[in-house]
């Protein structure tokens, strides 16, 4: 049975209480990969995968998932500023559907509006060269996406505990 693909908050109900998550920033040429610690407090960069064919890309992602013993995926969903979904969001949903056929790990979709722009500004602020930024931008965007998702889940947990 394929994995569930749900908005982040709904996907979280299908993940165990503990266990790391993999965050993905899907670019046209690369995939930025980040992973969280088992307590889901901190996102750390893992690598940037140079995209080849879906099967190869998915095999690498599933290998990372197995190595890190993660319990789910968080995919950045590039929603337009007006809330609509364009071709990149449709491409992300298609990637999620294809990945879901290869794993049982639930996949959460997280609105990643402005993540790459925010990371770019941060790297420029740190005086990172254009060439170096190009090398690390997708991995850093994956960290930004995953950390945003972790923070949202932590806020929901706190709210329900104090509810």
Angstrom CA distances, 72 to 29, 85, 115, 141, stand at 23, 23, 20, 18
pLDDT score at 114: 61
Mean pLDDT over 142-147 rounds to 92
pLDDT score at 2: 87
3-state SS of 50-103? ECCCHHHHHHHHHHHHHHHCCCEEEEEECECCCCCECHHHHHHHHHHHHHHCCC
Task: Tell me the per-residue pLDDT of 94-117, one tens digit each, with 9 for 90 and over.
Answer: 999 999 999 999 999 998 766 666
Answer whether residue 119 shows pLDDT above 80: no
pLDDT score at 63: 98
CB 50 within 8 A of CB 62: no
Q: Which residue has the higher pLDDT, 131 or 85?
A: 85
List domains and CATH numbers for the chain: 5-162 (3.30.420.140)
pLDDT score at 126: 81
CB 115 within 8 A of CB 5: no
pLDDT score at 117: 67
Hey, what are 156's tokens? 């929901």
pLDDT score at 155: 87
Residues in the chain: 163
Mean pLDDT over 72-93 rounds to 91
Strand partners, 79: 85
Task: Tell me the per-residue pLDDT of 23-80, one tens digit each, with 9 for 90 and over.
Answer: 999 988 999 999 999 999 999 999 999 999 999 999 999 999 999 999 999 999 988 8
Answer whether residue 18 shows pLDDT above 80: yes
18-33 as b/e, with b when 16 or more CB fall inside 10 Å? ebbbbbbbbbeebbbb
Classify residue 62 as exposed, middle or buried by CB count within 10 Å of its CB (0-12, 13-18, 19+): middle
């Amino acid at each position: 049975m394929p994995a569930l693909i749900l908005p982040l908050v709904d996907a979280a109900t299908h993940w165990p209480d503990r266990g790391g998550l993999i965050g993905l920033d899907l670019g046209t040429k690369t995939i930025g990969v980040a992973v969280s610690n088992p307590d889901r407090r901190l996102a750390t960069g893992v690598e940037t995968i140079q995209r080849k064919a879906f099967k190869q890309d998915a095999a690498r992602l599933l290998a990372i998932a197995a190595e890190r013993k993660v319990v789910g995926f968080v995919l950045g969903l590039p929603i337009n500023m007006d809330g609509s979904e364009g071709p990149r969001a449709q491409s992300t949903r298609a990637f999620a559907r294809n990945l879901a056929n290869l794993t049982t790990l639930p996949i959460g979709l997280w609105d990643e509006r402005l993540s790459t722009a925010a990371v770019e500004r941060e790297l420029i602020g740190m005086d990172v060269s254009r060439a170096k930024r190009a090398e690390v931008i997708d991995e850093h965007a994956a960290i930004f996406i995953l950390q945003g998702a972790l923070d949202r889940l932590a806020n929901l947990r706190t709210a329900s505990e104090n509810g």
